């Protein structure tokens, strides 16, 4: 069975600093995808970044990067130069062989001015 674990329920970060959100996963599938989504207080789910299990390089999208360590089964999200608008809940998710997503419980990030 696939499982996503986010161990940090909440984090505080100073504006302009970097923050790392932890995500570990468990799967027996040889091919899978890892995703991060952002959910601001308004409620919508915003796709941030994707990492394929066979990708050799870590994914990056603007200020977001995914630190993928396949042997450790971790897919941590790094947000660089935090902004006030980054305050939100962040979800790690993994695609399964049937293309459905499994979500972690989320991490709340609060950016302080």
Partner 1 sequence: DADVTQTPRNRITKTGKRIMLECSQTKGHDRMYWYRQDPGLGLQLIYYSFDVKDINKGEISDGYSVSRQAQAKFSLSLESAIPNQTALYFCATSDNMREGGDTQYFGPGTRLTVL
For partner 1, the binding residue among 19, 33, 59, 76 (CB under 8 A) is: 33
At 84 the three-state DSSP class reads helix
Query: Measured from the CB atom, is 67 or 103 closer to partner 1?
Result: 103
Min CB(61)–partner 1 separation in Å: 12
For partner 1, the binding residue among 14, 105, 110, 112 (CB under 8 A) is: 105
Pick from 39, 30, 77: nearest CA to 58:
77
For partner 1, the binding residue among 88, 91, 109, 111 (CB under 8 A) is: 91
98: DSSP letter:
T
At 21 the three-state DSSP class reads strand
Pick from 70, 53, 69: nearest CA to 20:
69
Chain Cα centroid distance, residue 113: 23
Q: Say whether residue 56 binds partner 1 (CB under 8 A).
A: no
Q: Say whether residue 84 binds partner 1 (CB under 8 A).
A: no
The span from the CA of 65 to the CA of 51, in Å, is 10
Min CB(113)–partner 1 separation in Å: 25
**Rule CB under 8 A: which residues touch partner 1?**
4, 31-33, 35, 37, 43-47, 50, 52-54, 91, 93-96, 99-101, 103-106
């Amino acid at each position: 069975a696939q499982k996503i674990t986010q161990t940090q329920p909440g984090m505080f970060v100073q504006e302009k600093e970097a923050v790392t959100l932890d995500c570990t996963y468990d799967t027996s599938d040889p091919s899978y995808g890892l995703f991060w989504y952002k959910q601001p207080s308004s409620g919508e789910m915003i796709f941030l970044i994707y990492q394929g299990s066979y990708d050799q390089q870590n994914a990056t999208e603007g200020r977001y990067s995914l630190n993928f360590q396949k042997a450790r089964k971790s897919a941590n999200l790094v947000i660089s130069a935090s902004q006030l608008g980054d305050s939100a809940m962040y979800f790690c998710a993994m695609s399964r062989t049937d293309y459905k997503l499994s979500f972690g419980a989320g991490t709340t990030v609060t950016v302080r001015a």
